[in-house]
Amino acid sequence: MAAYRGIRIDIRKKLTENSRITVYDYSKSLEYVYPTGTHIGAPAVPVVKPGQYVRTGEVIASAGNGVSANVCTCVSGTVKCIEPRKVLSGGSSMSVVIENDGKDVCIGNKYTRRSYVDSAQKKESIINAIKNTGIIGMGGAGFPAHIKYTPKDSNCIRYIIANGIECEPYITSDAALLTEEPDKIIGGIMLLLELFGNAEAVIAMEDHNIRAIQAVNNAIHNSESSKRISVKVLDTIYPNGAEKKLIRRITGINVKASELPSEKGCIVSNVHTIKSVYDAVYNNMNIERIVTVTGEGIYNPGNYRVRYGTSVADIIAYAGGLRDNKVVMIAGGPMMGTKVEDINGPVTPVLSGIVCLPQSIVYDGGNAASSNCIRCGRCIEVCPCRLKPLWEEHSTECIGCGCCSYVCPAGRELTMSMRKILNAE
């Protein structure tokens, strides 16, 4: 009985783990689409009008009431229209559509390093930079970062965990960022350490990311504040990267379903989010992320640096295209991601990768439809939240990781039933 449960699966990161970041030329795409409802909370309200000229980094939709975030454009050009557009998962979201003029005129840099009167002013300007550029959690949830970084009492935060685990199979976007730009991630962590004076920072990674671990360790030695930053390497188990499970593994603190990590003194952010904080504070920009286009169904798998708003169809074409028309594309990882219903949907800050799985590796054992539960207990054995999925019970503790459905020999849709119950509540 292991203390940390989960599944050890074939992570198939070999396709892209050694791929250097390839920059997708932003000028190739003519249209950039910005949905206003990507983040958790109230959708953003468009503040531009069709025909208006906007510059790269300008706010085109500002945060709604309550929990919300700004949306900024990542290219310069004219606002084509504001209308509902399909997103990758097939749903529709009110979006601001920008016609790219290819010139990448930026709004300029108001927040570069300058002397601050006191640390409170510096903290305020950091939070303002994060808020203005509309940074949301880039690990997949999309929670507005400026709200996460302003808990009731910032002195109670003891741990800042930079989540570089990326436990989903196939996806290597965080790994590529950690390998090639660890200094920016360290820079972002330093900014967060300014916000939370009592905290120490831990960069969490999995042990298969050998190059990333080396790069990060070198970057820490080269930076001034190696005292407050440490690296923790965990063995590769899915789902290591789940926020509350990660907190428990690194700090031993148990955060229940009804609690927020900040209430227990922890802040967990994806390394991409932290790097965006660095970009926002020093360059006033939050315009791009690494998207891993991978899978056996695509010709040129790799880690692509893409600006938000780019049509995924353009990226797929840039990556060599799909091998055949039966390839299944999944936005995010194959365990918790969603099937891509409309390939023309835009890249958003929460899109870590597109996994293209060909039909040839679809298991065709004849028993694909789910059959009777044989009470083998494997789902209980692997559940990281110690639930009992075979009885498909209500539980707010379920994180929707998919371990139960993965191991079920009868092919029962356990994750789906747990999630349906959760969504209904």
Partner 1 sequence: MIRDVNRAYNSECSYAPYLRTRTDTQSIMTDVCIALIPSSLFGIYYYGFRAFIIIIITVAACVGSELLYEMLLRKKITIQDRSALVTGLMLALCLPVSVPYVMPLLGGVFAIIVVKQLYGGLGRNIMNPALAARCFLHISFAGYMDSVDAVTGATPLAVLKNGGNPPLGRMFLGLIPGTIGETSVMAIMIGAVYLVYKKIITLEIPLAYITSFLICIVIYSLISGQTISIDYCMAHIFGGGLLFGVFFMSTDYVTSPVTFAGRCVYGIIAGVLTALFRVAGPGAEGVSYAILCADMTVPLMELMMTRRKEYGKI
**In the complex, which residues of this chain contact partner 1 (CB under 8 A)?**
1-2, 6-10, 12, 169, 237, 326, 328, 330, 334-339, 355, 357-359, 361-363, 365-368, 371-378, 380-382, 387-388, 390-391, 393-397, 402, 405-411, 413, 415-416, 425
Decide whether 110 or 339 has the Cβ nearer to partner 1: 339
What single string gives the DSSP state of each residue in 137-194? -TTTT--BHHHHT--S-GGG--EEEEE----SSS--HHHHHHHH-HHHHHHHHHHHHH
What single string gives the DSSP state of each residue in 207-272? TT-HHHHHHHHHHHHHSS-TTTEEEEEE---BTTT-HHHHHHHHH-----TTS-GGGGTEEEEEHH
Q: How many CB atoms lie within 10 A of CB 69?
A: 31
Q: Reduced to 3 states, what is the DSSP secondary structure of residue 200?
A: strand
Decide whether 64 or 169 has the Cβ nearer to partner 1: 169
Decide whether 203 or 414 has the Cβ nearer to partner 1: 414
Shortest separation between residue 10's beta carbon and partner 1, angstroms: 5
Decide whether 102 or 411 has the Cβ nearer to partner 1: 411
CB 281 within 8 A of CB 129: yes
Shortest separation between residue 349's beta carbon and partner 1, angstroms: 20
* Beta-sheet pairing, 200-206 with 159-163: parallel
Decide whether 65 or 258 has the Cβ nearer to partner 1: 258
- End-to-end, the C-alpha distance of the chain in Å comes to 32
Shortest separation between residue 88's beta carbon and partner 1, angstroms: 13
Q: Is the dihedral of CA 232, 238, 242, 247 positive or negative?
A: negative
Phi, psi of 394 (to 5 degrees): -65, 130
Taking the C-alpha atoms of residue 334 and residue 295, their distance in angstroms, rounded to an integer, is 10
Decide whether 317 or 368 has the Cβ nearer to partner 1: 368
Which amino acid, one-letter code, is at 158? R
Q: Reduced to 3 states, what is the DSSP secondary structure of residue 353?
A: strand
Q: Which residues pair with 90 in a beta bridge?
A: none
Decide whether 42 or 422 has the Cβ nearer to partner 1: 422
In the structure encoding, which two tokens stand for residue 78, read together?
């004219």
Decide whether 97 or 383 has the Cβ nearer to partner 1: 383
Q: Is the dihedral of CA 314, 320, 324, 330 positive or negative?
A: negative
Q: Which residues pair with 329 in a beta bridge?
A: 356
Decide whether 42 or 380 has the Cβ nearer to partner 1: 380
CB 293 within 8 A of CB 302: yes
